[in-house]
Amino acid sequence: MNRRTTRGLAVASALVVSSTLLAGCADELPQPQAGEAFTGPVLTKEQDTQVFTAVADTVAKADKELKSSALKPRVTGPAYEVRKSQLAVAKKRDNAEFVTDIPSESQQMIIPTTEGWPRTSFSITTSTEDLETPRLVAFEQASARSDYKMWAWTQLIPGQKMPAFADAGIGSEAVASDDDTLAATPADALAQYADLVTLGAKKSSFAKGFELPDGDLVAAVAADAAAWKEVPGFEDSGTEYTQKYKARKDEVRAVRTADGGALVMGVLDGKTTVKAEEGAKVPALSETQKALLGDADQTNTLTTRYTDMVALYVPAKDADGKIRPLGYSHVATAASN
């Protein structure tokens, strides 16, 4: 046992003691590490489902009570307008058959990645119990402190193929109404479609930019006109039938599709006027018109206003394809004479 060993042992024991004492000391304070910024969808699928459910519940409750005020918390914009009218008509008629059924289950969610507000998400519902085509519903969160509300719905046109969207887990980019990467800006596309609806596929100059399916709004409006013209004596009495549809400029919501195109939803204000000769009485043609007119006396004119929600697919500018109507909702919301 020489001196070196002794010193070594002394050093070793000193190390042990000091390190043990040091062990009692606390660690350093952790600093907050901000994770990666969010780039994905603003809602998770679960959240979007909750939104959908909340809206469906609210609508169902309002439908049951036929009280449009109950819609307020979760329905807004054109959807609120139309629904309010539908509920009023239903109440008057005491029959809710013309109230659009909106399934409470979603089969596809299109969730935006918008950082700011308003934010719009879309959802494709399942088919209805009556086996009607699925609805395409748009939800909007107008501001950070407001809830997502149903902004519009359309009934999909049978046989129309929906464009592909980014997965709900990735999120879809919102498209501005004046986005110029498309064959037509969303606002323009709606305006052109309105022209097409007004004039019909044969007369409108925009017809060549559209690929119209059989059962779209153009056909529906034409059918309306035809129905009037089939009324006995319509032609002979020199009755005029005019129709005018106009797209609302600021009520446009669009979202990018997977192929770079866009799904555009908007509102067309329609107005049809039936003007018979002086002294003639123009009856309401549909039950809705009747209900909307109420007890007012019949006159020689009948003006019906429509609030039509439409959905279009607008392809990308350089893409090969035409604008396709995907769905619509054609509801008379006012009538006067």
Partner 1 sequence: MLQRILGGVLVLVGLVAAALGVASATVWRDTDTVVATAKPTGDGTLVVTDPGVLGLVGGDVTVSASVPEGQKVTLAVGRDVDVAGWVGNDPYSRVTGLSDWENLSVAEGEPADPDAEEKPETGADPAGSDMWVAEATDENSVTLRWSDRPGRWTLLAAGVGDDATAPTLELSWPRAVTTPWLWPGVGVGAVLVLGGALLLVLGGRRARARRADLAEQESRDGDGTDLHDDGPSAGGLGAPFAPVRPGADDEPAAWPPSPTTDAAQETPDSTEEPSGEGETPDDGAARDEAAGTAEVPLAGRLLRRSRRRQREEPVDAPSEASPAAAPAATGTTPEPAPFGGLPVPAPAVPAEPTAHQPVPAEPAVHEPVPAEPPTATGALRMTRRELRAQEEARRAAEQGGMTRMLRAITGSIPAVRPAQTEQASEQAAARPDTSTPSGRAAAWRATWGFGDASRTGQAADPTTENDGENR
Binding residues vs partner 1 (CB under 8 A): 1, 6, 9, 13, 16-17, 19-21, 23-24, 26, 29-38, 42-44, 47, 50-51, 54, 115-117, 141, 143-145, 147-148
- Nearer of residues 17 and 164 to partner 1, judged by Cβ: 17
**CB of residue 168 to partner 1, shortest distance in Å:** 15
Nearest approach in angstroms of CB 16 to partner 1 is 5
Nearer to partner 1, 33 or 161 (CB): 33
- The residue length of the chain stands at 337
Written as six digits, the tokens of 175 are 């498209």
**Least Å from the CB of residue 73 to partner 1:** 10
Asked if residues 185 and 177 have their Cβ atoms less than 8 Å apart, the reply is yes
- The answer to whether 333 touches 307, Cβ cutoff 8 Å, is yes
Angle between helices 77-93 and 45-65 (to 10 degrees): 30
Residues 250 and 269: their CA atoms lie apart, in Å, by 12
Task: Provide the Cα torsion 227, 230, 233, 237; round to 10°.
Answer: 60
Nearer to partner 1, 19 or 250 (CB): 19
- Please report how close the Cβ of residue 298 comes to partner 1 at its closest, in angstroms: 47
Could you identify the residue written with the tokens 């004492």? 21
Q: How far is the CB of 19 from partner 1 (least distance, A)?
A: 8
User: Tokens 């039950």 belong to which residue?
Assistant: 287
**Are 261 and 314 within 8 A, CB to CB?**
yes
Asked if 102 and 59 count as a contact pair (C-beta separation under 8 A), the reply is yes
How far is it, in rounded angstroms, from Cα 251 to Cα 263? 14
Q: Give the span between the Cα atoms of 205 and 193, in whole angstroms.
A: 10
Residue 63 C-beta: closest distance to partner 1, Å: 22
- Taking the least distance from each CB to partner 1, the nearer of 54 and 316 is 54
Nearer Cβ to partner 1, position 34 or 131?
34
Query: Which of 24/294 has CB closer to partner 1?
Result: 24
